């Protein structure tokens, strides 16, 4: 529909036009490819076929702020769209990247960036340590980028916590370790630690309270009215706080509450996975966290074992509205809450000494 024709449409007819029609015009965001919504299954022993995964521009948040994400149905950790979202701000001042995707798709991520800019990759900010967000750090540092993150993320990377089975983590690739660091100031939540003025945009790196990990950062693009909110919120699978790296389910509540303050009603929130949302979409998630925390605490206070609590199927009321509600995802969530409501270890050097579980 052209502009002239559009003007002729009556207001009542306008209200009936689905939102998807509007995204075809100059309005942002434009979602090019949405994440998948199937119930994905993978055979035992399945290995991610990295050679088949494509990295594509899946959304445009402004004329020079694009979102990259991987293919659907191939990565069992993220079957709706492989890996973690990357955001790329580009223009005459060079490229600023939010996160770097999995190491195995580093070249493809760069190729996807090269489909819209030849500018030098100057700045990377890591929202949290996980490999789907930092895996290609060393590759992009090799392209000339300076990497920023919370000091805790650097600590998690340089001195990693033991794995969940108690075994020591492998040594880090020092070429991918962030060099520009800052800390979360509990006295001023939401205050940017770093601000970049690049390519007509103002970009704030806002360190978060321990939530998905103890080293989280959200990234605000003021002009585009967009915040990359990484993984303390998710709408594919149940919540995941990486407690070994200092994360906390209760901290995720605080993170949601901070977004309530930082975002306007129309601010587009870009989670690391799942669909793009607005802040009102975070409220049912918050309510679920509160509900599950209270129910698990009651059961644990009654002396129930983890096995008993898992068997109570507390997530049942949410299964219908939670995409990717696998048993593994539910059990991980409930186990975390169980660990958190009693004798939860403190954070030291960006990490917690969680009990190992085999």
- Chain contacts with Zn ion (rule: CB under 5 A): 84, 132, 231, 272
DSSP code, position 239: -
- With a CB cutoff of 8 Å and minimum separation 6, the contacts of 140 are 97, 100, 106, 110, 121, 124, 147
The answer to whether residues 239 and 289 touch, using CB atoms and an 8 Å cutoff, is yes
Between 221 and 228, whose beta carbon lies closer to Zn ion? 228
Between 133 and 351, whose beta carbon lies closer to Zn ion? 133
Between 204 and 231, whose beta carbon lies closer to Zn ion? 231
Q: Which residues of 142-173 are buried (b: 16+ CB within 10 A; e: fewer)?
A: ebebebbbbbbbbbbbeebbeeeeeeeeeebe
Work out how close the CB of 132 gets to Zn ion at its nearest, in angstroms, rounded to a whole number. 5
Work out how close the CB of 75 gets to Zn ion at its nearest, in angstroms, rounded to a whole number. 11
Between 74 and 198, whose beta carbon lies closer to Zn ion? 74
Work out how close the CB of 106 gets to Zn ion at its nearest, in angstroms, rounded to a whole number. 16
Judging by DSSP bridges, how do beta strands 217-221 and 201-207 pair with one another? antiparallel
- CA torsion sign for 59, 64, 140, 126 is negative
The answer to whether residues 270 and 62 touch, using CB atoms and an 8 Å cutoff, is no
In degrees rounded to 5, what are phi and psi of residue 89? Answer: -100, 130
Structure tokens at 35: 């994440």
Work out how close the CB of 60 gets to Zn ion at its nearest, in angstroms, rounded to a whole number. 21
Between 84 and 207, whose beta carbon lies closer to Zn ion? 84
CB atoms within 10 A of CB 109: 25
Work out how close the CB of 133 gets to Zn ion at its nearest, in angstroms, rounded to a whole number. 5
Work out how close the CB of 207 gets to Zn ion at its nearest, in angstroms, rounded to a whole number. 17
Between 220 and 234, whose beta carbon lies closer to Zn ion? 234
């Amino acid at each position: 529909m052209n502009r002239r024709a559009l003007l002729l449409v009556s207001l009542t007819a306008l209200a009936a036009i689905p939102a998807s029609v509007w995204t075809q015009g100059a309005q942002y965001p434009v979602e090019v490819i949405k994440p998948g919504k199937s119930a994905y299954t993978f055979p035992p022993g399945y290995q991610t076929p990295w050679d088949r995964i494509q990295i594509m521009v899946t959304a445009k948040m402004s004329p020079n702020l694009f979102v990259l994400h991987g293919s659907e149905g191939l990565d069992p950790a993220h079957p709706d769209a492989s890996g973690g979202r990357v955001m790329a701000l580009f223009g005459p001042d060079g490229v600023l990247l939010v996160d770097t995707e999995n190491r195995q798709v580093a070249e493809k991520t760069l190729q996807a960036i090269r489909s819209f800019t030849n500018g030098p990759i100057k700045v990377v900010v890591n929202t949290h340590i996980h490999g789907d967000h930092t895996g290609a750090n060393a590759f992009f540092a090799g392209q000339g980028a300076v990497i920023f993150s919370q000091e805790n993320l650097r600590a998690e990377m340089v001195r990693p916590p033991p794995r969940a089975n108690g075994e020591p983590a492998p040594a880090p690739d020092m070429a991918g370790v962030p060099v520009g660091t800052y800390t979360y100031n509990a006295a001023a939540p939401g205050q940017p630690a770093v601000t970049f003025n690049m390519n007509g945009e103002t970009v704030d790196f806002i360190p978060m309270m321990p939530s998905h990990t103890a080293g989280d950062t959200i990234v605000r693009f003021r002009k585009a009215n967009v915040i990359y909110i990484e993984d303390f919120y998710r709408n594919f699978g149940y919540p995941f706080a990486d407690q070994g790296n200092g994360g906390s389910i209760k901290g995720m509540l605080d993170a949601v509450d901070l977004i309530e303050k930082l975002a306007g009603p129309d601010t587009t929130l870009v989670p690391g996975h799942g669909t793009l949302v607005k802040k009102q979409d975070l409220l049912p998630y918050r309510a679920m966290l509160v509900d599950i925390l209270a129910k698990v605490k009651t059961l644990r206070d009654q002396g129930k074992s983890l096995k008993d609590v898992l068997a109570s199927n507390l997530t049942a009321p949410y299964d219908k509205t939670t995409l990717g509600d696998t048993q593994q995802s539910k059990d991980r969530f409930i186990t975390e809450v169980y660990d958190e409501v009693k004798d939860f270890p403190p954070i030291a050097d960006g990490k917690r000494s969680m009990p190992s579980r085999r």
